[in-house]
Amino acid sequence: MKIAAVLQRVLPPVWLGMVLAMAMEAQLKFSAPGVTREVGLGIGKLVFSALNRAECAIAVILAIAFFAFKAEQTARIIFGFLLTVLAAQTIWLMPRLIERIDQIISGQIVAESSIHFAYIALEIGKIILLLILSFLANRRDEQ
């Protein structure tokens, strides 16, 4: 089996697992004893920044696997949508969320914002796209 086909099959479910694990972490850390809002936000900033870098690395590898080595058209389209979501999070949302976290940690009062809900909506979209991509990449072998 070609390496591109293996990457197309393995990396989407791995990426999905990472996203789901971080979603659980985001909620659980605030329920740990002694974790204040500021500490939880500081941890979240570090963890989600690391996740974003790992996602970008996986996306680059998958882009090569999907576009340089023929993948089915539907998988390429789904992957294109996935890249769009990741780009929106990386370029637009993450910097704004990090800025808000820094303001809160430094004791500033920040205005209410819906940016966190936009991030959550994109995460849900990313999970759905990764599920579809995982299914498409792994269904080929059954045909």
Residue type, 113: S
Separation of alpha carbons 116 and 44, rounded Å? 13
- Angle formed by the axes of helices 37-63 and 94-105, to 10°? 160
Task: Report which DSSP code applies to 143.
Answer: -
DSSP letter at 69 equals T
Q: What is the pLDDT of residues 61-93, one digit of tens each?
A: 999 998 888 788 999 999 999 999 999 999 999
Write the pLDDT tens digit of every residue in 101-130: 999 999 999 988 899 999 999 999 999 999
**Helices 115-139 & 94-105, crossing angle to 10 degrees?**
140
pTM, full prediction = 0.90
Inter-residue contact 91 to 82 (CB < 8 Å) = no
Residue 72 domain boundaries? 3-139
Contacts by 124-128, CB closer than 8 A, 24 or more apart: 125/85, 126/19, 126/82, 126/85, 126/86, 126/89, 127/16, 127/19, 127/20
Number of domains the chain is built from: 1
Cβ pair 115, 71 in contact under 8 A: no
